[in-house]
């Protein structure tokens, strides 16, 4: 699963940066395998530990060797190759004490794939499989690349979140198992990690919520839920963020909290919505519990960035925030000189992601890169996002209200009220007649007025 497809296409940084930051680009770095052959690392750094000590990444599409790598701030110019054999190994996240989570296999011979398990690696290089359900789809785990993996770990390593294919039935006609990619939460105990939750019933009647017009509302019917892919986990393990896929194909930025699926947008729940491919992702959650992500319409022509705050508000803004520090600094594409940004340490002193290198035959690929040093460029804070009230109108399409407000009303030029909504509501203007419209946004500090023409 390539997390950087959207990000790499989006980002090219052009800002100037102060000398306080040091960039480590490993595009020209090389590893040596057991046969004495050298190769370069492929793939970005996906995560950095909250304390900034470690960063991990991998080539999770097996473009070349399929390597995974670990960076240690104590020796910043070097990478540790995690898999020096033909085993499939992924590295997705790392705790403050260097516990890497991902997936791994143990092959009896290098040409025959074995079963891949979600697992964790300690600093001494030892991989340990995490427990999986009895219904774990062994055929998927043997044939697919990096689908059965731990994908996020809390800073103290107490909780791990990830995905596995869970068998829900059998197709007698074709002779194969029916399984869905299912999120799991593991908890560390005195006896090792145990499965705390296997989220099989996400979307069941009464067990999901959707954000609607300023509040979370319980869905009174079963949501046509299919899969959930984990991107991050809160520091206390209580919230998992990522994206869920409906039976209709819509990919919805969503979180799992208290065993419930919380959809921040309604991506369509009916199987008959065959052409519904709108969606996005919740890509990160900061140390304070604020969730960041983006949403786009079904033809990917409109992308809108948001934060779902710890107060329960869905708030829009104009710049993509990839991660945020504990004191509220928002890391955007202007923050550091990286081709793509994926994560940052709690204090912002280490920001990780990827560079880009040429294949030599007209193509390109991601390479690991990171920046060490204090954030020296001007950055937004969450308070600035909340207080920056404005409108974002996509001509003929959606109208978004940026910032934190109480209510927004849309009036025609004649003064007729044509639409109204609370925090986080997106207004579809497709049905409005051509002309000039007035938007009155009521905030805690008064009313602000804007205009747009359709």
Closest CA to 330 of 373, 375, 392, 296: 375
* DSSP code of residue 81: E
Token pair, residue 423, equals 């925090």
- Asked if 304 contacts 264 with a C-beta cutoff of 8 angstroms, the reply is no
pLDDT(331) > 60: yes
Mean pLDDT of the chain: 85
Residues of the chain with pLDDT > 90, as a percent, come to 53
**Would the pLDDT of 204 be above 90?**
no
Residue 142 pLDDT exceeds 60: yes
Within 10 angstroms of residue 386's Cβ, the number of other Cβ atoms is 20
Question: What residues contact 123, with CB distance under 8 A and at least 6 apart?
Answer: 97, 98, 99
pLDDT at position 66 is 64
Start-to-end C-alpha separation, the chain: 40
CA distance 345 to 325: 7
Handedness of CA 287, 288, 289, 293 (dihedral sign): negative
> Cα 121 vs. chain centroid, distance in angstroms?
22
Which one, of 260, 319, 264, 252, lies nearest residue 291 by Cα? 264
- Chain-centre distance of CA 379, in angstroms? 21
Give the pLDDT of residue 15.
36
Residues near 101 by beta carbon (within 8 Å), at least 6 away in sequence: 91, 92, 93, 94, 118, 119, 120, 121, 149, 150, 151, 152, 153, 160, 162
Specify the pLDDT at position 84. 60
Both structure tokens of 239: 């919230």
Contact criterion met (CB below 8 Å) for 310 and 290: yes
Query: Is 296:266 a contact under the CB 8 Å cutoff?
Result: no
Asked if pLDDT for residue 103 goes beyond 90, the answer is yes
Confidence bin at 120 (pLDDT 50/70/90): very high
Supply the pLDDT for residue 422.
Answer: 96
The whole-number pLDDT of residue 230 equals: 96
Nearest residue to 340 via CA among 317, 367, 380, 358: 367
Global pTM?
0.90
Q: What is the C-alpha radius of gyration for the chain, rounded to an integer number of angstroms?
A: 23
Three-state SS across 231-272? EEECCCCCEEEEEEEECCCCEEEEEEECCEEEECCCCCCCCC
Q: How far apart are CA 249 and CA 269, in angstroms?
A: 9
Answer whether 294's CB lies under 8 Å from 315's CB: no
Two tokens, residue 6: 């959207």
Q: pLDDT tens digit string along 339-371?
A: 999 999 999 999 999 988 877 776 778 899 999
Ranges 33-37, 331-335, 404-408: which has the least confidence = 33-37
Residue by residue, DSSP assigns 99-133 as -EEEEE---SSTTS----EEEEE-TTS-EEEPP--
Mean local confidence (pLDDT), 305-320:
94
Please report where in the chains the tokens 């699963």 appear, as a residue: 1
């Amino acid at each position: 699963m390539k997390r950087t497809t959207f990000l790499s296409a989006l980002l090219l940084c052009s800002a100037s940066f102060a000398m306080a930051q040091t960039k480590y680009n490993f595009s020209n770095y090389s590893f040596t395998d057991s046969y004495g052959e050298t190769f370069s690392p492929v793939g970005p750094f996906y995560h950095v530990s909250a304390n900034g000590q470690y960063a991990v990444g991998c080539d999770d599409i097996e473009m070349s060797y399929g390597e995974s790598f670990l960076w240690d701030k104590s020796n910043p110019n070097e990478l540790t190759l995690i898999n020096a054999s033909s085993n499939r190994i992924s590295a997705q996240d790392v705790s403050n004490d260097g516990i890497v989570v991902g997936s791994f296999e143990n092959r009896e011979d290098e040409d025959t794939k074995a079963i891949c398990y979600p697992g964790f690696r300690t600093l001494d290089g030892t991989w340990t499989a995490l427990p999986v359900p009895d219904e774990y789809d062994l055929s998927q785990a043997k044939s697919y690349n990096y689908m059965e993996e731990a994908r996020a770990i809390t800073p103290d390593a107490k909780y791990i979140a990830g995905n596995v294919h869970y068998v829900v039935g059998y197709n007698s006609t074709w002779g194969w198992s029916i399984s869905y990619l299912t999120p799991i939460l593991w908890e560390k105990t005195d006896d090792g990690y145990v499965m705390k939750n296997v989220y099989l019933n996400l979307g069941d009647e009464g067990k999901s919520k959707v954000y609607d017009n300023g509040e979370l509302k319980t869905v009174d019917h079963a949501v046509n839920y299919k899969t959930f892919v984990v991107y991050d986990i809160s520091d206390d393990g209580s919230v998992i963020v990522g994206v869920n896929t409906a039976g209709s194909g819509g990919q919805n930025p969503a979180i799992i909290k208290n065993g419930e699926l919380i959809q921040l947008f309604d991506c369509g729940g009916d199987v008959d919505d065959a052409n519904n491919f709108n969606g996005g992702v919740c890509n990160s959650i900061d140390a304070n519990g604020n969730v960041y992500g983006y949403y786009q319409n079904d033809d990917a022509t409109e992308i809108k960035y948001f934060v779902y705050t710890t107060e329960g508000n869905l708030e829009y803004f104009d710049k993509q925030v990839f991660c945020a520090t504990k004191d509220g600094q928002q890391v955007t594409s202007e923050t550091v000189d990286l081709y793509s940004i994926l994560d940052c340490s709690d204090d912002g002193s280490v920001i990780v992601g990827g560079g880009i290198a040429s294949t030599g035959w007209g193509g390109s690929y991601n390479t690991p890169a990171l920046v060490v040093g204090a954030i020296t460029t001007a950055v937004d804070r969450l308070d600035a996002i909340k207080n920056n009230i404005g409108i974002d109108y996509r001509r003929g399409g959606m109208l978004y209200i940026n910032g934190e407000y109480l209510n927004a009303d849309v009036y025609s030029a004649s003064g007729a009220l044509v639409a109204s909504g609370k925090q986080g509501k997106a207004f579809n203007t497709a049905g409005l007649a051509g002309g000039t419209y007035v938007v009155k946004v009521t905030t805690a500090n008064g009313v602000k007025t804007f205009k747009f023409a359709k």
